[in-house]
């Protein structure tokens, strides 16, 4: 069966920006190394949560990817004319919730993560399976992951459980924009990818479905590192896709820029 006539729409990016306020409470070890700078805090579920301090050498983990192409690309968040990006000095930790995952897909998830890493110069680090449900309502700091921003969670759902997956939408992706532990610089964190198990099962039953399925996951991971949608139907970051499985020139440019943010 060919994919002719079958429209695979990806997603409405589900990113959120969280406003931080300065902390007025006690100090921890990291605060003592930043004396004079107030610790940023967010309120979640009625609790004040200190934005975790990032343990980093201050050096990029991998070289930045040179921008060698030009084309349409957008970013989900902009702050003072600069895109909000992940910290390239720490790994992009990610976990996978295998509940409901169609058979044979896990290698595609790993391949997609490796591909986005290669095109962005960010280092992705797989931390294994989780039982956390992938949801945009997740807490950005969770006991199960320790005192840090929660890793990117990738999970499976369907349109009954996740109405945004209705129809041909095969996935959703995004991240949270939040200040670092100190100062005003914003970073992305606690990303989420939700994939439609029914659409993936359909895709994988077609001849060219494997490449397209991996392209859907790459598209969602590109949202996680900050890319938004574009008008150009020749880019993978177009919000609908019928047959494209490779990054376009604007995608590549956007991915390289997304991976070249400042370190916390
Ligand atoms: Zn999208």
Residues 6 or more apart whose Cβ sits within 8 Å of residue 200: 102, 105, 156, 170, 213, 216
Long-range contacts, stretch 177-180, CB < 8 angstroms, 24+ apart: 177/15, 177/16, 177/17, 177/18, 177/76, 177/77, 177/79, 177/84, 178/17, 178/18, 178/20, 178/42, 178/51, 178/140, 178/149, 179/20, 179/40, 179/51, 180/40, 180/51, 180/54, 180/87, 180/264
Closest CA to 213 of 226, 193, 223, 199: 199
Which residues place a Cβ less than 5 A from the ion ligand 1? 10-11
pLDDT at 20: 55
CA of residue 12 to ligand 1 center, whole Å: 6
CA of residue 209 to ligand 1 center, whole Å: 18
pLDDT at 13: 55
Structure tokens at 243: 């047959």
CA of residue 236 to ligand 1 center, whole Å: 9
CA of residue 174 to ligand 1 center, whole Å: 9
CA of residue 29 to ligand 1 center, whole Å: 39
Q: How many CB atoms lie within 10 A of CB 136?
A: 18
Q: pLDDT tens for the chain, 264 residues: list them.
A: 223 233 444 555 555 666 555 554 555 556 566 666 778 888 777 778 888 888 888 899 999 999 999 999 999 998 889 999 999 999 999 999 999 999 999 999 999 999 999 999 999 999 999 999 999 888 889 999 999 999 999 999 999 999 889 888 899 999 988 888 888 889 999 999 999 999 999 999 988 899 999 999 999 999 999 999 999 999 999 988 768 899 999 999 999 999 999 998
Q: Which CATH class is domain 8-258?
A: alpha beta
CA of residue 47 to ligand 1 center, whole Å: 31
Report helix, strand or coil for 170.
coil
CA of residue 264 to ligand 1 center, whole Å: 27
CA of residue 205 to ligand 1 center, whole Å: 23
pLDDT at 3: 31
- Maximum distance among all alpha carbons in the chain? 64
CA of residue 102 to ligand 1 center, whole Å: 21
């Amino acid at each position: 069966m060919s994919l002719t006539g079958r429209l695979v729409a990806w997603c409405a990016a589900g990113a959120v920006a969280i406003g931080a306020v300065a902390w007025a409470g006690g100090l921890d070890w990291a605060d003592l190394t930043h004396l004079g700078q107030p610790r940023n805090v967010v309120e979640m579920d009625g609790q004040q949560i200190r934005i975790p301090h990032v343990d980093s050498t201050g050096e990029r983990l991998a070289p930045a990817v040179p921008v060698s192409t030009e084309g349409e690309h957008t970013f989900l968040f902009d702050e003072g004319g600069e895109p909000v990006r992940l910290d390239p000095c720490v790994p992009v930790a990610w976990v996978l919730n295998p509940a409901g995952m169609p058979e044979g897909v896990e290698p595609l998830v790993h391949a997609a993560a490796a591909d986005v890493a290669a095109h962005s110069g960010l280092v992705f680090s797989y931390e294994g399976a989780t039982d956390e449900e992938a949801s945009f309502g997740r807490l950005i700091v969770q006991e199960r992951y320790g005192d840090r921003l929660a890793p990117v969670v990738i999970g499976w759902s369907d349109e009954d459980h996740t109405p945004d997956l209705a129809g041909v939408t095969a996935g959703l992706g995004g991240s949270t924009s939040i200040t670092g532990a100190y100062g005003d610089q914003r970073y992305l964190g606690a990303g989420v990818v939700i994939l439609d198990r029914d659409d993936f099962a359909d895709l994988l039953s077609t001849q060219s479905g494997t490449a397209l399925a991996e392209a859907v996951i790459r598209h969602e991971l590109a949202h996680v590192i900050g890319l938004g949608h574009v008008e150009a139907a020749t880019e993978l970051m177009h919000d609908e896709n019928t047959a494209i499985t490779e990054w376009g020139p604007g995608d590549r440019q956007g991915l390289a820029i997304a991976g070249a943010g400042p370190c916390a």
